[in-house]
Structure 1
Amino acid sequence: MPRRRPLVIGHRGAPGYRPEHTRSSYDLALALGVDAVEPDVVFTADGVLVVRHENEIGATTDVADHPEFARRRTTKTIDGAEHTGWFTEDFTWDELATLRCRERLPQLRAASASFDGEQPPLRLRDVLDLVRQASLDQGREIGVVLEIKHATYFSGLGYDVAGAIAAELRDAGWATGRLPLYLESFEQTVLEAVRAEGVRGTYIYLLEAAGSPYDLVARQGRAAPTYREQATPAGLDRLVGRVDGISVDKRMILAPDKLGRATGPASVVADAHARGLRVFTWTCRPENAFLVGQFRRGRAKAEFGDYAAEWRMIADAGVDGVFVDHPDLGVAFFRG
């Protein structure tokens, strides 16, 4: 059954106010009352699970300012797309720990960028321990929504992705189901592999508004289903019993037309609920740059538009969880 009010999930902490995936970003999200926080995990050269939005870290750290790492700038193909920069798997954890984090969107979030250069990256274990302590301090259960990034890619490099994640969760006391744990990925294969490792949690399959899941592309090529096909009633039927829910790009709910007018809420939430699947959506952000056209106000991308109207359509769809960049706004709106 859908929740009466959705989980409010701090998307990478509170990146509307602090550089994403930093200690201060998570501290702020927890202080502002989120139900859970969402760390993304990738690997270092020595197998440490680190919290970064992507394994390419040129835009989110000061690595380019470190002459000792200049030769590590390279070009790689990840999930079928070419990327140039510095990659976590080419650094040990001790090396990454010498870097300092930066705001990923400084032109939109200048206030957050004022904290650039002050905080090192975090490991997954750091976030798990932080959330557990916050739960004790605040006297309430706070969850972790763990996103596994680029599983097929890292498996191809020889990493035991599912095994490493399961081992970390067991060691940190998060694998038994006693604490609210959600595991999510754009690749269904790794979710099934982590579940097979005995990790108890809620398994959520991420669906893009376009494209196809890379694990299936790697196996099936052009025959791989698209994410949109997987979000149809027939596609959802095939997910039943394999995952506990889906997490969709908000545009799949808002269904904007070519003029930027929302025509939703679309049926995907109701279709999933009819099959016993939970539905999360990402990402609820107030800035004009991220809103569907009809909800923008003025021309400045960084200014807040009529986000409440957009979020109301999402809430009315009956979602079970929402990812937010500004936890105070998300808590006030979705619990109001």
Structure 2
Amino acid sequence: MVRSFFLGALTLIGAAMTTPAFAQDVDNDLLIIAHRGASGERPEHTLAAYERAIDQGADYVEPDLVVSKDGVLISRHENEISGTTDVESRDEFADRRRSKTIDGQLIAGWFAEDFTLAELRTLRAKERLPHIRPENSRFDGLYQVPTFEEIVALVKAKEAELGKRIGLYPELKHPNFLLQDEGIDSVDLLVRALKKAGYTKASDPIFIQCFEVGPLQRLDQLTDVRLVQLIHPEHESPADEPSMRYVEMATPTGLAEIARYADGVGPHFSFVLNDDGSAKPFVADAHALDLKVHPWTLRRENTFMPSALRTNDNPRGVGALPILMGLLVAADVDGIFTDHPGAAVILRESGSYEP
């Protein structure tokens, strides 16, 4: 069955692709967006992960942004930081453990907004998925939690070194919770940081993304940089708009509403592809509204693959990432988020998506 899917998928790819075009500039053709950096090879959201992704040829690097107690934008997957730092083992912060209701879910742990930047600086990053990527754990303890300002500085330094533009693709995490429950306006902080860094125009190499709606609508009034509405396959609704449903936002009518304030959509790839690998109408519907489509997330491990693209029963085993990427290219997406930017760049440049 798996082999027949592979053969059928290759047929779909070949039928949809005649003369492939490959991105040589940050805003041309298919964008390779390094999801949290080269997070398949280094602990995510570290300067090392971002730099490795850039060196591998990624067009954009993606930092998730949360905020410290003293109002500094930092990069972590979530504002609960025990999964990505060594805070749980630090006796001096044992009393900071608490429970918070975030986006309707009760979460216990340690939260970035309860620590000053100086305190966060004493922590060290660790691999978030050691059971899937144990080889990344050898880098545990080597890297600090980076600020957004440091990530911008790294990108600009690498631009000067490599002589090409490198894009930023920040995601605001839980901005409604931070504003309503913690009194922290991460939207305003980001706008000020962008102005300081010189990102103010739609032509600048930056996209801002969020799963929530209101923050993007605010950003549409505050900045001209490009905005992307994320769409989730498992969560029913945006946290700040419980009356809305992501599945309805993915319809032509919903996409038309998104086009009023955003420049693109970031759906899970299941919104783009049918189970047999053929394209759903999502991309065509979005393109009809001049919305870019950047699906997430391509990861090579079997556990993250559609069942038909898993090569064996080992969750850590390497699945058919080339096939999945080829199907998305055939569906005419404008970019992809991936934990493995190096592999994605090689595939894009070769034009071959056979496993």
Is residue 271 of structure 1 aligned with residue 295 of structure 2? no
Q: Which moved more, 1:290-299 or 1:165-174?
A: 165-174
Q: Provide the C-alpha distance between the structure 2 equivalents of 1:226 and 1:239, rounded to a whole number of angstroms.
A: 13
In the alignment, which residue of structure 1 is the partner of 2:64?
40
Shift of 1:177: 4.9
2:165 aligns with one of 141, 149, 152: 141
Q: Provide the C-alpha distance between the structure 2 equivalents of 1:4 and 1:150, rounded to a whole number of angstroms.
A: 31
Give the secondary structure class of the aligned counterpart of 2:66: strand
Is residue 117 of structure 1 aligned with residue 136 of structure 2? no
1:327 aligns with one of 341, 345, 351: 341
1:239-278 CA-to-partner distances (Å, cap 9, x unmatched) read 223111100001111233xxxxx35321111110111111
Q: Provide the C-alpha distance between the structure 2 equivalents of 1:51 and 1:73, rounded to a whole number of angstroms.
A: 20
Q: Provide the C-alpha distance between the structure 1 equivalents of 2:160 and 2:118, rounded to a whole number of angstroms.
A: 30
1:250 aligns with one of 248, 264, 269: 269
Q: Provide the C-alpha distance between the structure 2 equivalents of 1:201 and 1:129, rounded to a whole number of angstroms.
A: 19
Q: What residue identity is the alignment partner of 1:288?
A: N
Is residue 71 of structure 1 aligned with residue 90 of structure 2? no
Q: What residue identity is the alignment partner of 2:256?
A: D
- Give the conservation status (yes or no) of the 8 Å contact 2:75–2:145: yes
1:27-80 CA-to-partner distances (Å, cap 9, x unmatched) read 100100100100010011111101001000111100011101001111111011
Shift of 1:175: 2.7
Shift of 1:286: 1.0
1:228 aligns with one of 247, 252, 255: 247
In the alignment, which residue of structure 2 is the partner of 1:158?
183
Shift of 1:232: 0.5
TM-score (normalised: structure 2): 0.88
- Give the conservation status (yes or no) of the 8 Å contact 2:175–2:185: no
Q: Provide the C-alpha distance between the structure 1 equivalents of 2:37 and 2:28, rounded to a whole number of angstroms.
A: 24
- Give the conservation status (yes or no) of the 8 Å contact 2:202–2:226: no
Shift of 1:200: 2.6
Q: Which moved more, 1:224-233 or 1:158-167?
A: 158-167
1:293 aligns with one of 277, 289, 307: 307
Unaligned runs of 5+ in 1: 218-223, 257-261
Q: Which moved more, 1:311-320 or 1:166-175?
A: 166-175
Shift of 1:176: 4.2
TM-score (normalised: structure 1): 0.93
1:282 aligns with one of 288, 291, 296: 296
Aligned positions of 1:174-189 closer than 5 A: 174-177=199-202, 179-189=204-214
- Of Structure 1 and Structure 2, which has the larger fraction of its residues in strand? 1
Is residue 195 of structure 1 aligned with residue 220 of structure 2? yes
Q: What residue identity is the alignment partner of 1:194?
A: L
Give the secondary structure class of the aligned counterpart of 1:8: strand
The runs of at least 4 consecutive aligned structure 1 residues that moved more than 3 Å come to 176-179
Give the secondary structure class of the aligned counterpart of 1:42: strand
Q: Which moved more, 1:173-182 or 1:149-158?
A: 173-182
In the alignment, which residue of structure 1 is the partner of 2:32?
8
Q: What residue identity is the alignment partner of 2:154?
A: L
Q: Provide the C-alpha distance between the structure 1 equivalents of 2:83 and 2:259, rounded to a whole number of angstroms.
A: 38
Q: Provide the C-alpha distance between the structure 2 equivalents of 1:161 and 1:23, rounded to a whole number of angstroms.
A: 21
Q: Provide the C-alpha distance between the structure 2 equivalents of 1:291 and 1:24, rounded to a whole number of angstroms.
A: 26
- Give the conservation status (yes or no) of the 8 Å contact 2:268–2:295: yes
Q: Provide the C-alpha distance between the structure 2 equivalents of 1:91 and 1:264, rounded to a whole number of angstroms.
A: 47
Is residue 238 of structure 1 aligned with residue 257 of structure 2? yes
Q: Provide the C-alpha distance between the structure 2 equivalents of 1:205 and 1:100, rounded to a whole number of angstroms.
A: 31
Shift of 1:226: 0.6
Q: Which moved more, 1:185-194 or 1:48-57?
A: 185-194
Q: Provide the C-alpha distance between the structure 2 equivalents of 1:22 and 1:42, rounded to a whole number of angstroms.
A: 14
C-alpha RMSD of the superposition: 1.5
- Give the conservation status (yes or no) of the 8 Å contact 2:283–2:293: yes
Give the secondary structure class of the aligned counterpart of 2:297: strand
1:92-118 CA-to-partner distances (Å, cap 9, x unmatched) read 000001000000000111111110011
- Give the conservation status (yes or no) of the 8 Å contact 1:315–1:334: no
2:123 aligns with one of 86, 99, 106: 99
